[in-house]
Structure 1
Amino acid sequence: MIISIAIWMVSVVIAALYYKSSIQKLRTPYTFSYIMSEYQLGTYHMPLFITTKLAPLLIVVELLTAVWIFLPWTRLYGFILGACLQIVFFMLMFMNMRRNFPYGCGCFKMNAPSVITARHAWGNLVLCFVQVAVVIIVVAG
């Protein structure tokens, strides 16, 4: 019973995080596309014409994750999808640590300069671990 309540509370908080993040990106999708193109994958910069196609997809995936985590019958899949997103976000944050982004990091705030810090990377990793823990508890339960 206590575990069910704890999972429900974690679900509401994490669903709200994904919802807030995706809604912010929906308000300024072109800015989010530009921010995505600023991330480096090693020495590779993804061109803007590609990120303008990928950004809407990522926004939809984040919104879908929020809905799936919130709904009890899709919660497990939502947490799995969310953990996968957080692994990708952690790797991007880690590879771009200490870089200055003129329009923000693309997490929650946009149109304001931001420097990627260890706090950004660790925040994504902790969120991933929490979601993996919920998946393990639900599957083992």
Structure 2
Amino acid sequence: MIISIMIWMVSFVIAALYYKSSVQKLRTPYTFSYIVSEYQLSTYHMPLAIATKLAPLLIVVELLTAVWVLLPWTRIYGFALGASLQLIFIILMSANIGRSFPYGCGCFKMNAPSVITVRHVWGNFVLCIVQVAVVLWLLAVG
């Protein structure tokens, strides 16, 4: 019973985080596309033409995650999707630690310069671990 209550509480917190993040991105979609294009995995930025296609997909996936973690019959998929998103964010942010982003990192605030730090990576790591733990628990209890 206590675990069920904790799962519901975690579900609401994770849903609120993804909802807030995605709504912020929906308010300034072009800015978010620009931020996505600023991330590097090697020495080159992602072309803006690709980022403008990828950014809306990320927003939809975040909104979908927010809804799925709240619904009992899709909760495990929502947490798995959320953990996958966090892994992507961890990889991208780890590759860009110390870089300055003129419009922000794309997490919650837009239009304000920010530098990717270990704190950003750590926050995403904690969110990922929490979501993986919930998935494992839900798989264990069937």
TM class by smaller structure: over 0.9
Q: Where does structure 1 differ by over 6 angstroms across 4 or more consecutive aligned residues?
A: none
Could you say what the CA RMSD is over the residues aligned between the two structures, in angstroms? 0.6
**Distance apart, 1:44 and its partner CA:** 2.7
Distance 1:68 1:22 in 2: 14
Task: Give the count of matched residue pairs.
Answer: 141
**Distance apart, 1:72 and its partner CA:** 1.2
Distance 2:7 2:60 in 1: 24
Structure 1 position 79 matched with structure 2 position 79? yes
Unaligned runs of 5+ in 2: none
Matched to 1:112, the amino acid is A
Q: Give the match for residue 65 of structure 1.
A: 65
Structure 1 position 36 matched with structure 2 position 36? yes
Percent identical residues: 79
Return the TM-score normalized by structure 2.
0.98
Residue by residue over 1:61-85, the C-alpha shift from the partner in whole angstroms, topping out at 9 and shown as x without a partner, is 1000000011111100000000000
Residue by residue over 1:44-73, the C-alpha shift from the partner in whole angstroms, topping out at 9 and shown as x without a partner, is 311001101111111001000000011111
Unaligned runs of 5+ in 1: none
Q: Give the match for residue 24 of structure 1.
A: 24
Return the TM-score normalized by structure 1.
0.99
Q: Give the match for residue 109 of structure 2.
A: 109
Distance 1:9 1:43 in 2: 41
Q: Give the match for residue 121 of structure 2.
A: 121
